[in-house]
Amino acid sequence: MTKQTTASDRARLPLTAWAEDVQRLQLPMPAFGGVNSWIIGPPGRQAIIDNGLPGPETAAVWDAVLAEKACSGLDAVLLTHMHIDHVGQTAKLIARTVPLYMSVCEHADLTQLSEMRPSARQDAEMAFLKSGGHPPPNGPSSRDYGVLAPIPRTFVPLETGAEILLGGIAFEIMLGGGHSSAAVCLICRDRKLIIAGDQILSGSGPQIAVWPHRPDADPLEHYFDFLDRLEALPDDLAVLPGHGSPILDFKAQVARIRNGHLARLDRLRSAIEAAASCADLIPLVFPGGIPSQLHNRVPYLVRPLVNYLANRGYLRPQLDDTGILRFEPVAR
Span 23-71, pLDDT tens digits: 999 999 987 789 999 999 999 999 999 999 999 999 999 999 999 999 9
CB-count exposure of residue 17 (10 Å: 0-12, 13-18, 19+): exposed
Span 105-152, pLDDT tens digits: 999 999 999 999 989 999 999 999 999 999 987 765 567 899 999 999
For residue 51, the domain's CATH number is 3.60.15.10
| Boundaries of domain holding 24 | 7-264
Number of domains the chain is built from: 1
Residue type at 57 in one-letter notation: E
Span 234-289, pLDDT tens digits: 999 999 999 999 999 999 999 999 999 999 999 999 999 999 999 999 999 999 88
- Does residue 331 belong to any structural domain of this protein? no
Average pLDDT rounded to a whole number, residues 220-224: 98
- Does residue 139 belong to any structural domain of this protein? yes
- SS3 for 325? strand
- Does residue 294 belong to any structural domain of this protein? no
Dihedral sign from CA coordinates of 80, 67, 31, 39: positive
- Does residue 332 belong to any structural domain of this protein? no
- Does residue 186 belong to any structural domain of this protein? yes
Query: What's the rounded Cα separation, in Å, for the pair 181 and 328?
Result: 28
- Does residue 256 belong to any structural domain of this protein? yes
Euclidean distance between the first and the last CA atom of the chain, given in angstroms as a whole number: 78
Query: What's the rounded Cα separation, in Å, for the pair 114 and 188?
Result: 32
- Does residue 323 belong to any structural domain of this protein? no
pTM of the model: 0.93
E-state strands within the chain = 15-19, 22-27, 35-40, 46-49, 74-78, 100-103, 156-158, 163-166, 169-176, 183-188, 193-197, 238-241, 276-277, 315-319, 325-329
Q: What angle do CA 168, 192, 239 make, to 5 degrees?
A: 100
- Does residue 38 belong to any structural domain of this protein? yes
